[in-house]
Amino acid sequence: MTTLALADTRTLTGRSLRHVTRSPDTIITTAVTPVALMLLFVYVLGGAIDTGSDEPYIDYLLPGILLITVASGVAYTAYRLFLDLQGGIVERFRSMPIARPSVLWAHVLTSLVANLVSVALVVAVALLLGFRTGASAGAWLAVVGILVLFTLALTWLAVIAGLCATTVDGASAFSYPLIFLPFVSSAFVPTDTMPRPVAWFAENQPATAVVDTVRALFAQEPVGGDIWVALAWLVAVLAVAYAAALAAYRRRTG
């Protein structure tokens, strides 16, 4: 982006973030479902789940919960973008000397900030529930980097949903499959405990590679090839979603 586009993006992101800070319940709501799932699996179901290791179940569970947190949060991006389009705000911006991609980037960066806050809240609750890690600062930075990339990839998918939806419910509903995806992965149980067709899907979808990478970083274990598989998935989804979102935006705003 040019200097002008960066300035426009910064201004529009500030506007969008102000809306979020005026209704912090959206961030709290995003964190409620993952926290409820943690409580359910740790205190109700966790005792019956054998992960094949001696680590506390909360340590095994947390990486998948973080992905669900992000998947829940990006729905608000689709929702807010849809409302801006329906309310005519985007048309008003187009009548001003504003770089066109800045409107979308403002929503994306707002999603990134809001989701990282939600993730921090979930990690704080996990610590209260007994999560512990000896991960180094570098490992934590790697975890944050992967979650940032994951958030950007899903947020650009949310932008497509916000641009293409015809109703508010349709704009938000796209996130349901994304929330469900970690459940069919290594997030809650080892994939080798699943029926073979389900295990094959779980082992070859992006959530498993991301979860296994984050779990290894927290456990101070070698990440192996999982990190490259995770990065390949995330970069590919991000690139395709970004291109598709720009094309949808051009069609929608003509």
The confidence score (pLDDT) of residue 138 equals 94
Q: What does the pLDDT read at residue 93?
A: 60
What is the reported pLDDT for 95?
Answer: 58
CA distances in angstroms from 61 to 65, 159, 175, listed in the order given: 7, 29, 21
Q: What pLDDT was estimated at residue 100? A: 66
Closest CA to 58 of 27, 33, 29, 34: 34
Is the model's pLDDT at 140 over the cut of 90? Answer: yes
3 state SS of 56:
coil
pLDDT of amino acid 169:
77
* Domain count across the chain: 1
Domain extent for 235? 3-45+52-253
Nearest to 30 by CA among 179, 194, 137, 238: 179
Residue 113 burial (CB count, 10 A): 15
